[in-house]
Amino acid sequence: MAIATSATAACFGGTMGFYSHPSESTGTAMRFAVFQPPQAARGPVPALYYLAGLTCTEETFAIKAGAQRFAAAHGLLLVAPDTSPRGAGLPGEDDAWDFGTGAGFYLDATAEPWSRHYRMARYVSVELPALIEANFPARADRRGIFGHSMGGHGALVTALRAPARWHSLSAFAPIANPVAVPWGEGAFTRYLGADRTAWAPWDASLLLRERPYPGRILIDQGDADQFLESQLHPAALEAAAAASGQDLLLRRQPGYDHSYWFIQSFIADHLAHHADRLLG
């Protein structure tokens, strides 16, 4: 599959690059970012995928998180896809910041017209890893995934639905129980239809009660997060983990909000968590 290179630059002894390709899953061009650590010059390394939140792009994590320094130290290849299809031409896709463009919610839409293009789950879990492993020095047997907010939801659901494909998992301030909060209800109603029973396979707290992940899950949540009570509901995930016996480390961080200042503050811990599982 053809990949177009938008830009590359030297970074911590490796290479930071931005790319695009025609996606079979979405039927649109999709953009993504890849950091190749210096160790990748000697052979394939584990890949760690990051899913960004509402309104973000493939550039957000690469520019704001400060992860490349730690990925270079551990020898992890970082991959960050865009957060939705763009330019699909669907009516209403650009009308709201929390739905449509920039808000794909990492699910496979089943309701028209969104099912024609908004198949981000298949893109992230199947198409993008195959593309990365065919074109970059990434190991096919060691993949990790993490994300923030909507992307934290996406990382949890992606790994819980296919644990054999994802060997490490963490999240920053995930939308932990989307069927019960306004962001999730608004998106799921339009992407999946009004039947709420069809929503359960895309809710991490519901999935975790039925199928615990085979390994520790690390989650950081700021206690000054402006969306904590209204949108995130980490307690639902904690309760699900307790019910299923999941090994969950959910750290409530005093004074931290929902921003990338929060992510920067704990990104080293998350890279170490993934490195321990992907390289240990």
Contact by Cβ (8 Å): 81, 126: no
pLDDT for 238-255, tens place per residue? 999 999 999 999 999 999
Residue 270 has pLDDT above 70, yes or no: yes
Average pLDDT over residues 7-11: 98
DSSP-based three-state secondary structure for 113: coil
Active site residue ranges:
149, 225, 258
Q: What is the pLDDT of residue 237?
A: 98
Per residue in 166-183, pLDDT (tens digit) is 999 999 999 999 999 999
pLDDT surpasses 80 at 117 = yes
**Angle of CA points 109, 111, 113, to nearest 5°:** 95
Q: In this structure, is the dihedral angle defined by the CA atoms of residues 187, 193, 194 and 196, taken in order, positive or negative? A: negative
Name the pLDDT band for 234 (thresholds 50, 70, 90): very high
pLDDT-based confidence at 1, cuts 50/70/90?
Answer: low
DSSP codes joined into one string, 220-243: EEETT-TTIIIII-HHHHHHHHHH
What secondary structure does DSSP assign to 43-99, as a single string?
S-EEEEEEE--TT--HHHHHHHS--HHHHHHHT-EEEEE-SS------TTTTSBTTB
Residue 139 confidence (pLDDT) above 90: yes
Q: Give 235's contacts (C-beta < 8 A, 6+ positions apart).
A: none
What percent of the chain stands above pLDDT 90? 99
C-alpha pair distances (Å), 172 with each of 17, 99, 150, 209: 24, 20, 10, 20
Is pLDDT at 280 greater than 90 in this prediction? no
Mean pLDDT for the chain overall: 98
- Is there a cis peptide before residue 22, judged by omega within 30 degrees of 0? no
Sign of torsion, CA 48 54 57 63? negative
At 25-56, the pLDDT tens digits run 999 999 999 999 999 999 999 999 999 999 99
Mean pLDDT of 75-103: 97
What is the Cα–Cα distance from 86 to 151, expressed in whole angstroms? 17
When pLDDT is cut at 50, 70 and 90, the band that residue 152 belongs to is very high
CB neighbours of 99 closer than 8 A, spacing ≥ 6?
92, 93, 186, 187, 190
Report residue 199 as tokens: 């929503």
Residue keyed to tokens 């700021």: 222
Average pLDDT, integer, range 81-102: 96
Residue 12 pLDDT grade (very low, low, confident, very high; cuts 50, 70, 90): very high
pLDDT at 256: 98
Of 280, 3, 2, which is closest to residue 144 (Cα–Cα)?
280
